[in-house]
């Protein structure tokens, strides 16, 4: 029993120290990368985007080194890089907001307008064509999502949306709002459903990170042309529910 307790305490210390080291590295990397992105505002968008992608890759590598967090992606064969799409994914932690920028095609995402005021990170994000909305004004937010989202899709950018609206615990899936499906229906671009279990190792609202392998599963395209938004949304949600059961086994 004493040996078990000693090992448990040793593991806890590693988790605390690793999480602290990761946090310091995250802050430093953000302070280093963000000004470079801001300076490059005079250059083409692709240059700023690739710098941001480099930051995302750096963060993922630090999470692996400091916290033992790895990831595996199933379904990359479904990704078509010759055209844009709308991503509808479940949302469990900050991990996916970083990782998607690393292993998915060039993209923009939907998030709260207030996040643009966060020093360094928010300022840099403001140069990467975000779809920043005021969640207190739902009608205005939906109009902006559809108009700005369609512009981004036509430019060849993917649009990443977390239709649950907030980060959920690993054992729950919030109901899907129809905004992403409406964007797909009105723009004619397909939906790519994604499911993940990042919250198991990178919990929401938690300083501590735990070692393990995050599973990501990318589903086949869901066509939107000639379909109702409600049908598109339900098909995506049903796929995510089933895929969540599969990766949790």
What is the full DSSP assignment across 64-132? Answer: HHHH-EEEEEE-GGG--TTS--EEEE---SSHHHHHHHHHSPSEEEEEEGGGGGSTTHHHHHTTS--EE
Asked if residue 63 belongs to a domain, the reply is no
- Geometric angle at alpha carbon 67, from 64 and 71, rounded to 5°: 40
Say if pTM beats, i.e. exceeds, 0.85. yes
Number of domain units in the chain: 1
Cβ pair 100, 108 in contact under 8 A: no
Nearest to 229 by CA among 171, 193, 188, 172: 188
What DSSP character marks residue 138? H
Asked if residue 152 belongs to a domain, the reply is yes
Length of the chain: 249
Asked if residue 233 belongs to a domain, the reply is yes
Q: What is the pLDDT of residues 154-208, one digit of tens each?
A: 999 999 999 998 888 888 888 899 999 999 999 999 999 999 999 999 999 899 9
The enclosing H or E element of 193 equals: strand 191-196
Find the CATH number of the domain harbouring 154: 3.40.1130.10
Q: What is the pLDDT of residues 91-128, one digit of tens each?
A: 999 999 999 999 999 999 888 888 888 888 889 999 99
Joined together, the tokens standing for residue 60 give 């993922």
Asked if residue 43 belongs to a domain, the reply is no
Asked if residue 21 belongs to a domain, the reply is no
């Amino acid at each position: 029993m004493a040996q078990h307790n000693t090992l448990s305490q040793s593991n806890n210390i590693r988790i605390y120290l690793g999480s602290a080291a990761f946090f310091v590295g995250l802050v430093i990397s953000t302070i280093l990368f963000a000004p470079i992105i801001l300076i490059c505002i005079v250059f083409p968008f692709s240059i700023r985007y690739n710098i941001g992608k480099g930051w995302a890759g750096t963060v993922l590598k630090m999470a692996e080194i400091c916290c033992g967090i790895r990831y595996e992606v199933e379904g990359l064969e479904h990704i078509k890089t010759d055209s844009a799409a709308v991503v509808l994914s479940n949302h469990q932690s900050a991990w996916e907001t970083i990782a998607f920028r690393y292993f998915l095609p060039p993209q923009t995402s939907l998030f709260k307008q207030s996040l643009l005021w966060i020093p360094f990170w928010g300022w840099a994000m403001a140069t990467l064509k975000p779809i920043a909305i005021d969640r207190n004004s739902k009608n205005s937010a939906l109009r902006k999502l559809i108009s700005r989202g369609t512009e981004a899709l036509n430019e060849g950018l993917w649009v990443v949306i977390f239709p649950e609206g907030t980060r959920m615990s690993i054992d729950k899936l919030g109901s899907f709002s129809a905004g992403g499906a409406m964007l797909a229906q009105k723009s004619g671009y397909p939906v790519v459903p994604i499911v993940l279990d990042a919250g198991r190792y990178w919990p929401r609202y938690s300083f501590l990170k735990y070692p393990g392998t995050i599973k990501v599963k990318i589903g086949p395209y869901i066509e939107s042309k000639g379909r109702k938004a409600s049908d598109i949304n339900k098909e995506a949600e049903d796929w995510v529910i089933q895929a969540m059961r599969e990766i949790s086994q």
